[in-house]
A and B are shown apart, each in its own frame.
Chain A
Amino acid sequence: MFDYKKDFPILNQKIVYLDTAASAQKPLAVIDAMSDFIKHDYANIHRGIYDLSQRASDRYESARETVKKFINARNTDEVIFTHGGTESANLVAYSYGREFLREGDEVVITELEHHANIVPWQVLRKEKGIKLSVVPIDADGSIPIEKFKTAISDKTKIVSFAHVSNVLGTILPVKEITALAHAVGAVAVVDACQSVQHLPIDVQNTDADFLFFSGHKLYGPTGIGVLYVKRALLEKMPPYQTGGGMISSVSFDETLYAEAPLRFEAGTPPIIEAIGLQAAMNYVKNIGLDKIAAHEHSILKYADEKLSLIPGLKILSNAGKKSAIVSFVIENIHSHDAGTILNNYGVAVRAGHHCAQPLMDSLGVSSTVRASFGLYSAMEDVDALAAGIYEAKKIFGN
């Protein structure tokens, strides 16, 4: 029996937590790892000549090694620790994009993107006169590979896309899209924020050039993210932020930068958070991502079936291949009213535009209710969700 709820202390209270896509709850293993590290091994890293600092540095670098294995990177120094998924996305745009994009170049994104994979490119569009092309979705929320073929041209320099949509759960074929990008000499940037906790990531197999995600959606702490960059590209990229830790020598005349990845980790990095992320990855790996995916898939299937029976409820996430998210609207009930009523029954869902306003426009809605699942989700959670929706319908008289 797949039951890991007991590993998550916060879920001991009376709550049906269906907002894992916004942030996942933390298992005791992560909480303890961070707490133990602070109690026994914490100091600033790469600075002190004393044992404690050395120990902390070793632990921090061992976390980088864990990430490397988790995403199957070729080299450990291809793994950069950032402060979150959004910072990772910004780093790609403002270091690589700003250095290599020229006027008239095209960046291809999709209609599914989170604002974090839209706005940095718009800044570069204004700054450098690049063109931003958007691959449209089909009515069911999927994007056939043919649409990427149409959008990608000789002018395309970057193809940046979500592995999994944060609103619809749609899974995009990373390997195929990356191959299309490479065929025209472009690089592929994969936003794995909604996939790393559900699907195995293999950057060598997919040949992605950049891949990023945040720690907190992977059952780890907030304040840390990862950016994977293929080594050949990494060596050419200028620093994104400057300061301590990212230099090899500084005089008032000239500064020499450190090698990657430290060149991209200015200032004191999220050390404790790296230890937490490492514990989260080990936790997930011990259970097995394939088992997690199978469990979440069964929950998702049950939710789709159960919710589609509710009159007036329309599920918007209908892609053939999708991850643990169900997004829906209810006739005559605004998503915020639904969210408030569900909350009253102890069910935590997200209601709103999910930082994807262009997608909302495309779907023809101003907001949706989103229920998202994690490894601790159970069938009873879906039952509670459905019961809450029936109550909302009762209150609104439909």
Chain B
Amino acid sequence: MDNDLRELYQDVILDHGKSPRNFHAMANATNNALGHNPLCGDKIDLFLSIDKNNVIQDISFQGAGCAISMASASMMTEMLKGKTTDHAVKLFHAVHNMFTSSETDIKDCSVSEDDMDRLTALSGVKEFPIRVKCATLAWHTLDSALNNKKS
């Protein structure tokens, strides 16, 4: 196996892909969005419970897809629980930049060391341009969910 493939399928990705965290529906969600990649059929149904101070009290998802899309969604939920929506938006832009530009610099959105490790693990997908969409699906779904309050 070459290094790029090893970078892509790190243990942490495989672990999250196989046993995604926060993988369930949420009855009392305030925000929800369904992300779908029609090219490959990956689907992510994302739920958020956001309080009046704009803090994400709870976040979960359901769906089906490849190891990369599931791991990305799973790690995203871990990174956002207890964080403000402002932080979520910043992180979304940082991740988006990480995947779409050659820059890997994400330090200006004040991420914790743990989060940095998670994002670094995901960044392996950059060597596989056709798979970048798998990694970003959860994050685009987050962007819609933040703008999609349940009535």
Residues of A within 8 A of B (CB): 332-337, 340-341, 344, 351-353, 357, 360, 366-367, 391, 395-397
Binding site for A on B (CB under 8 A): 1-2, 4-5, 8-9, 14, 18, 39-43, 64-68, 128, 130-131, 134
Would A395 and B9 be within 8 Å (CB), given that A336-B66, A337-B67, A344-B2 are in contact?
Answer: yes
- CA–CA, A159 and B80, complex, Å: 53
Chain A residues near B134 (CB, 8 Å)?
Answer: 336
Residues in A whose Cβ lies below 8 Å from that of B43: 366
Known: A344-B1, A360-B41, A391-B1. A366 touches B9 (CB 8 A): no
Contact count A vs B, C-beta below 8 Å: 52
Kindly identify which residue among B14, B64, B130 contacts A397, using a CB–CB cutoff of 8 Å: B14
**In the complex, are the beta carbons of A336 and B131 less than 8 A apart?**
yes
Closest-by-CB residue of B relative to A351 is: B40
Which among A340, A352, A357 is the interface contact of B8 at CB below 8 angstroms?
A: A340
Chain B positions within 8 Å of A337 at CB level: 9, 66-68
User: Chain A residues with Cβ under 8 A from B130's Cβ?
Assistant: 340
Given A336-B131, A340-B131, A395-B9: A352 and B41 within 8 A (CB)?
A: yes
Which residues of chain A have C-beta atoms less than 8 A from B18's C-beta?
332, 396
Residue contact B5 to A395, C-beta cutoff 8 Å:
yes
| Interchain CB contact (< 8 A) of B66 among A334, A357, A360, A397 | A334
10 A-B pairs besides A360-B41, A366-B43, A395-B5 with CB distance below 8 A are A333-B67, A334-B66, A336-B68, A340-B130, A340-B131, A344-B4, A352-B39, A367-B41, A395-B14, A396-B67
Question: Distance in Å from the Cβ of A337 to the closest Cβ of chain B?
Answer: 5
Which of B39, B41, B42, B130 has most chain A Cβ within 10 Å?
B41
Chain A contacts of B66 at CB under 8 A?
334-337
Alpha-carbon separation in the docked complex, A344 to B64 (Å): 24
State in angstroms the CA–CA spacing of A286 and B52 once bound together.
Answer: 75
CB distance from A100 to the nearest CB of B (A): 33
CA distance A366 to B39 in the complex (A): 11
- A275, B1: Cα distance in complex, Å: 44
| 27 examples of A-B residue contacts, CB within 8 angstroms | A334-B67, A335-B66, A336-B65, A336-B66, A336-B68, A336-B134, A337-B9, A337-B67, A337-B68, A340-B8, A340-B131, A341-B9, A344-B2, A344-B5, A352-B39, A352-B40, A353-B40, A357-B41, A366-B41, A366-B42, A366-B64, A366-B65, A395-B1, A395-B5, A395-B14, A396-B18, A396-B67
A344 CB contacts on chain B under 8 angstroms: 1-2, 4-5
Distance (whole angstroms) from the CB of B12 to the closest CB of chain A: 13
Chain B residues within an 8 Å CB radius of A366:
41-43, 64-65
In the assembled complex, the CB of A227 is this many whole angstroms from the nearest CB of chain B, namely 28
Residues of chain A with a CB closer than 8 A to B131's CB: 336, 340
- Would A336 and B40 count as touching, CB distance under 8 A? yes
Instruction: Please tell me if the beta carbons of A341 and B5 are within 8 angstroms of each other in the complex.
Output: yes
Using known A-B contacts A344-B2, A395-B1, determine if residue A367 contacts B8 with beta carbons closer than 8 Å: no
B124 to chain A, nearest CB (A): 11
Chain A residues whose CB sits within 8 angstroms of the CB of B5 once the complex forms: 340-341, 344, 395
For the complex, give the distance between the alpha carbons of A340 and B4 in Å: 11
User: Shortest Cβ distance from B127 into chain A, in angstroms?
Assistant: 10
| Chain B residue with Cβ nearest A367 | B41
Question: Chain B residues near A335 (CB, 8 Å)?
Answer: 66
Ranked nearest first, the 8 interchain pairs of A and B with the lowest CB-CB distance are A334-B66, A336-B66, A366-B41, A344-B5, A337-B66, A337-B67, A395-B9, A353-B41
Contacts of A334 in B (CB 8 A): 65-67
Expressed in whole angstroms, the Cα–Cα distance for A352 and B131 within the complex equals: 13
Query: Min CB distance, A90 to chain B, in Å?
Result: 20
How close is B96's CB to chain A, nearest CB, in angstroms? 21
Closest B residue to A341 using CB positions: B5
A367 and B65 alpha carbons, distance in the complex (Å): 9
| Complex alpha-carbon distance, A367 and B40, angstroms | 7
How far does the alpha carbon of A51 sit from the alpha carbon of B17 in the complex, in Å? Answer: 66
A334 to B4, alpha carbons, bound, how many Å? Answer: 19
